[in-house]
Each structure stands twice: as C-alpha cells, then as structure tokens.
A and B are shown apart, each in its own frame.
Chain A
Amino acid sequence: MAIVTVSGEPGCRTGEVARLAAQRLNYEHLSAARLDALLAEEFGEPGETPWPDKAWPAMAASVLVRLATQSNLVIGVDGAELLFEGFPALLRVRVVAHPNRRTGNVMLDDHLERPAARHQLKMRERDARQLRRLRFRRANPAPDSFDLVLNAGSFDGEPMAEMIEAAAHARALDSFGLLAPAAEAQRQFQLRLQLARYGMKPKGHAALKKAQFYHPSEQIFANLLDFYRIAWEYEPKSFPIAWDAEGRVLEAFTPDFYLPESDTYIELTTMKQSLVTKKNRKIRLLREIYPGVNIQVFYLKDLQDLVLKYGLSGVGN
C-alpha cells in the first residue's frame, strides 16, 4: 500500500498538484469532492443532519483503508495526513505559498479584483482553520506532520508533481505493495469502534471505479484534458430519463465525462448518424428532465477540429 497525501494552504491549487502527482505515479487520485461522494456512498447522504465533524476522520479512514487494498492512492484532502498514523508507506506533502501568490490564484479562479481576492482568501483560510479544529482539534497543522513541504511561489504544479514523484521513489513507496486484507480488517475494527460512538457503521459500498474507455476517441479526449490539467471523471453518473407506471427506471443516460471544476458533463458522439439521432433524443430528454444539469455534446467533427488545432493526428471512427 502506498499513500501520498497532499494538502495545502488555501489558494495554492493543491488539488492540481495532487492530480498531476497521481498521473505521474500512476496512483488513484482522490479529490475532496470524490471523497465526499464516496463517504455519501458509504454512510448515506448527510441530509438535514450533517455528519458529525468529530466522526469525519474515522469515516474517511474507513473508506480510504479499504480503497488502499485495491490501489495506491494520492489523496488531495486537507487533514488526510493525520489519517494514517503508523502506516509505513506514507508520504505526506504540504503546499504553501506567499499570500501574494495565493491571492493571484484566487483573482483568476474566482474572477475577482485583488482586494476582493484578498478578502476571499482570508475567508477560506478562516474556514479551513475552523474545519481542521472541528475535525482534528487543532486549527493549524503541525510542521512535523509532513515529510515534504513545497513552495507554490517557486514552482508550478508540474515541477511540484515531479518532486513528489521523486520523493515517493526515494522512500520506495511502490515496494510495499497494496494493503493486505488482514491489515485492513484490523484497522477497520478500530475504526468501527470509533464510529459506533456516533451511531455510524460502514456499509462497505464505496469502491473505486476505473475508467475503461469504450471508444479510442474517449481516450484522446481524456489525454487532451490531462494535457491542459483539467480534472475529469469518466461516466460517474447515470441519469434516469424514462420510467414505467410503477416508477421503475426504463431508460437512463450516462454522459461520457464529468468536469468537476466547471460542473459540466461532456458527451462524445462519434457514431453513425442513425445512432446520433437516438442519442440526441436522450440528451434532449435529459435537458428537459434535469434543467440544472449542464451537458455539452461533442461530435466527431468537433473532436477532429480540436485534434487538428492541437496537432494530433488519427482520430478514427
């Protein structure tokens, strides 16, 4: 089992560093949003009563140690460095930067002028400290909680990912193999005891879903998104679009990609015209039933133009 945790000060674009490091190491990347989805799968949606903050470390650890039996992980979640005490194959990374640098990132990411970005950054710092205090009883992480500290003011995301890769190799993380089921069971026993205090019990539902592309064009599109450092998920959600009289789902539509940063679904259409017509009907239904869902359709011609623009040859049908 190899686990790399990447956390950072607000405005450091820590998520991007974690994603790039996962690509380099060929580990599974878990963002905060993805972990939230897995926790909802495991413990049910929080609903009107939010999950108790004090239970969060045990909830997260319960899911993560199970996933560590299936894959090596890069976890881009604040506080994750505190979830694996005593684990041997662990690399804990912290990303920091001067406030000017972080303000610049917020200016752009949130389309704000500098004074508003400074204020926004202060609010995020306050929220992050508060969340840490609630979950871990300490507002700021201790410096010795980390094995590697990187300055985002000196390095861009890609060189930082390179350094994380080098540190992971230096610590020979790959040599440990995946977490053994017996070790997982032992840890789960401890976590179940902790969760029982809050009346919570892991269901064992949350699991990794690996991208298995159906069509070569999907691989090319994924490569293009990776190239531009755009986070994506492959077929993460199906939308029911037709039901029978008893309310059973008769038909569902699963868009190819989801881009979490822009909350947009992308459907690639590279098939024959007759099938395109059928797919267009499904997309029309999806838009009618789920008006809040943002979906964009990319046709083969669009993809060819993209490929032409970005200098890649050979998009085949």
Chain B
Amino acid sequence: MKTPALPMIERVLLTREQIDQRLKEVAAEISAHYRNGNLKLIGVLKGSVFFLTALARELTIPVKVDFLAISHFSGEGSSTGVVRIAKDLDESIEGEDVLLVEDIVDTGFTARYLLQTLAGRGPNSIALCTMLDRTPRRIVPLQVDYCCFEIPDRFVIGCGLDFKQLYRNLDFIAVMKPDKA
C-alpha cells in the first residue's frame, strides 16, 4: 500500500484491510465467549471510541455500551494528585459481564486503574480487550484477554490514537516519524 502523503508518517503499520480482518476474528471470539452472558462494552474516552464502535458492529450478540473518562497527569511538582474518573459510567455494572475496551495498552497504568475501579462495582465478570498491545512498554502486569495486534515500541497514530488530538480519524495505523513524535 502506498504511504499516504502526511508529513509526520514514517510508514503504515496496519492497513484498514488488516484491521478489519483481525477485528472480525476478535469479535467472533468475544461473541462466542459471551453468547450466554450479559455483555457490556465500556470504552475509555476518547481513544477507544473508534475501535469500540467498529468492534460492536461485528459482534453477533446483544451488547450494551457505556463510556468513561479519566483525569490526566498534569504537573511536575512534588505532588501531582492521583488519577480520577473524570466522566463516570451512566449506569451500574453490577451483575454484568464487563469488557473494558482500550485503543492501546502499553505501560498498563490506565488499564490497571480502570480494571481495579470497575471490579469493585460488583460485575459478574470483567475482562480487557485492546486494539493494540505495546508489550515492550509494559510496567505493571496485566492480563489482556482480547488483543487485535501486538505492536513494536513505536509511537503510532490513527483509529482513535492521536498526536496532540489530531489523526484519530485515520482509518489505518501509522508510525510517526521519530523527529515528529
């Protein structure tokens, strides 16, 4: 595939066709596993919106959807506060089979915090699904239950992943040029 003429892109890592194909496979796994369950997809704003939507369309079982957002790390002082839920879920997850949907898991910081928080709300089960898993960056141990692609230790954009809030809408995953990232 020809690399799109965007100056910050070094190369396309995953084409739209590759993503669509893999997404169908993962959706089939999820549909099979939760065929008798009470599945609720929980997306983390903003990055996972694109992936969650595409995934949900491929599922063959009834599914509920909800979203949350967390606060961001901002400050270099000696104390920078702690992560908080900035936008909470609209409905309870008690007794439901929760699948947390992430665009990318790398250090595991965010996913670990969210899984811990959600597990305390009485779901029947809780699992993690991610579009991309950048395992070389993992700092905290994490069980990823469904993963579309493991990727190398590079800064990537597209399909919800941004650089300074831009490029989320690209329908492929691209590696940023090192001097641009």
Interface residues, chain A, CB within 8 Å of chain B?
13, 20, 23, 100-101, 104-105, 107-109, 111, 113-114, 152-153, 156-158, 219-220, 223-224, 226-230, 259, 261-262, 264, 266, 296, 301-302, 305-306, 308-312, 314
* Shortest Cβ distance from residue B157 to the other chain A in the assembled complex, whole angstroms: 12
Closest to B163 in A: A308
Q: Does B6 reach chain A (CB closer than 8 Å)?
A: no
Q: Across the interface, do B119 and A107 meet the contact criterion of CB distance under 8 Å? A: yes
- On whether A262 and B82 interact (CB within 8 A), knowing A109-B116, A310-B73, the answer reads no
Interface positions of B (Cβ within 8 A of A): 72-84, 106-107, 109-110, 112-113, 115-126, 137-141, 143, 153, 155, 163, 178, 181
Q: Are B125 and A312 in contact (CB under 8 A)?
A: no
Closest to A229 in B: B82
B75 touches A312 (CB 8 A): yes
- Asked if B116 and A296 make an inter-chain contact with CB atoms under 8 angstroms apart, the answer reads no
Residues of A within 8 A of B155 (CB): 305, 308
Contact present for B143 and A114 (CB under 8 Å): no
- Do A308 and B181 have beta carbons less than 8 Å apart? yes
B143 with A111: CB separation less than 8 A: yes
Q: Pick the contact of A312 from B73, B79, B81 — CB < 8 Å?
A: B73
Name the A residues within 8 Å of B112 (CB-CB). Answer: 228, 230
Contact yes or no, B181 A311, CB < 8 A: no
| Contact of B74 with A311 in the complex, beta carbons under 8 Å | yes
Also in contact, A262 and B139, with CB within 8 A (given A226-B79, A229-B113): yes
Minimum CB distance partner of B164 in chain A: A308
Q: Which residues of A contact B140 (CB under 8 A)?
A: 230, 259, 261-262
Q: Report chain B residues within 8 Å CB of A111.
A: 143
Cα–Cα, bound, A108→B75 (Å): 30
What A residues does B163 contact at CB under 8 A? 308
Residue of A nearest to B137 (CB): A302
Q: CB distance A108 to B119 under 8 Å?
A: yes
Query: A16 to B176, alpha carbons, bound, how many Å?
Result: 37
- B139 contacts A107, C-beta separation under 8 Å: no
Question: Closest Cβ of chain B: how far from A16's Cβ, in Å?
Answer: 9
Question: Taking CB as reference atom, which chain A residue is nearest B145?
Answer: A111
Q: Is the CB of A104 within 8 A of B73?
A: no
Q: What are the 5 A-B residue pairs with the smallest beta carbon separation, nearest first?
A: A108-B119, A310-B73, A228-B109, A104-B119, A223-B80
Query: Contacts A264-B139, A310-B73, A311-B73 given: A158-B123 contact, CB under 8 Å?
Result: no
Bound Cα distance A310, B119 (Å):
24
B83 touches A107 (CB 8 A): no
